[in-house]
Amino acid sequence: MRLDKYLKVSRLIKRRTVANEACDAGRVMLNDKVARASAEVKAGDTITIAFGNRETRVRVLSVQESIRKEDAEGMYEFI
């Protein structure tokens, strides 16, 4: 699954366009490398997102095309 779509489906970022812009600005890292929005995400990957002066690190547990809002947090775990 594309990184920008994963960020939206998992609800780490609210909208896909915002996720795409964050990737273009270099604020999203996949496995400690700056990632493009089109990068492939798979289970076990580490995603780091810089929001202003704070950083969020998560480990991908599962990749699903669609999921209910209540179950979205099961797609990742905070590190």
Ordered domains of the chain (ranges, CATH): 3-78 (3.10.290.10)
pLDDT of residue 66: 86
Reported as type and span, the H/E element at residue 7 is helix 3-9
Q: What is the pLDDT along the chain (79 residues), one digit of tens a residue?
A: 999 999 999 999 999 999 999 999 999 999 999 999 999 999 999 999 998 899 999 999 999 998 999 999 999 999 9
CA distance 79 to 73: 13
Reported as type and span, the H/E element at residue 59 is strand 54-60
51, 50, 46, 54: which is closest to 6 by C-alpha? 46
